[in-house]
Amino acid sequence: MAKNTGIAPLVEGLVTPTILELGYSVWDVEYVKEGAEWYLRITIDSPEGIDIDDCEKVHRAIEVIIDEADPIEDFYYLEVSSPGVERPLKKPEHFVHCLGEVVEVKLFAPDANGNKSYKGVLRAANENGIELDADGVCVALEYSAVAKANIYFEF
């Protein structure tokens, strides 16, 4: 078993109460290795949006909690950020939160129609999957088929 298995959910459990107390929600927690470096990424959100001051406030509050619990053996960088305009959608609650938005979905493998990706308006989401309106066609996808999904923002 990899030594980093379970770190993200453990840290999420440690920091969520403090983040909620500060008036934000936890959008995502990742513990990833990029090159030779480890990163603990905490993504926060709020109805009013997130700016750099919000990220700094949360960073200062949670770094103490993480340091005291000391769940990570390796040296790592702690990053706190907003999900951004093209926010990733990873959990069923992310999809529910973004109903009515245009999303881009990439599949692990081509579906029965031969499509490996879709872009459309997110019309429904539940614990099993989503429904998109892709150019007037209703497309139902199970989460198990989705490799990556995010809000689509046209610049």
- Backbone phi and psi for residue 62, each to the nearest 5 degrees, phi listed first: -90, -25
Average pLDDT over residues 63-70: 96
d(CA 90, CA 127): 12
Residues above pLDDT 90, as percent of the chain = 94
Per-residue confidence (pLDDT) for residue 58, from 0 to 100: 99
pLDDT tens column, 97-116? 999 999 999 999 999 989 99
Q: At the topology level of CATH, where does 92-151 sit?
A: SH3 type barrels. (2.30.30)
Average pLDDT over residues 6-35: 97
Per-residue confidence (pLDDT) for residue 4, from 0 to 100: 65
Per-residue confidence (pLDDT) for residue 49, from 0 to 100: 93
Lowest mean pLDDT among 2-6, 13-17, 57-61: 2-6
Long-range pairs for 51-59 at CB < 8 Å and ≥24 separation? 51/82, 54/24, 54/82, 55/80, 55/81, 55/82, 56/80, 57/22, 58/19, 58/22, 58/24
The domain locations on the chain are 7-81, 92-151
Look up residue 54 and give its amino acid: D
Average pLDDT over residues 123-151: 97
Tell me the pairing of strands 146-151 and 137-142.
unpaired
Per-residue confidence (pLDDT) for residue 3, from 0 to 100: 56
Q: Does the pLDDT of residue 18 top 70, yes or no? A: yes
Buried b (16+ CB within 10 A) or exposed e, 123-141: eebeeebbbbebeeeebeb
d(CA 45, CA 124): 22
Q: Does the pLDDT of residue 2 top 60, yes or no? A: no
Per-residue confidence (pLDDT) for residue 109, from 0 to 100: 97
Per-residue confidence (pLDDT) for residue 17, from 0 to 100: 98
Q: Does the pLDDT of residue 95 top 90, yes or no? A: yes
In this prediction, residue 155 has a pLDDT band, given cuts at 50, 70 and 90, of confident
Q: At the topology level of CATH, where does 7-81 sit?
A: GMP Synthetase; Chain A, domain 3 (3.30.300)
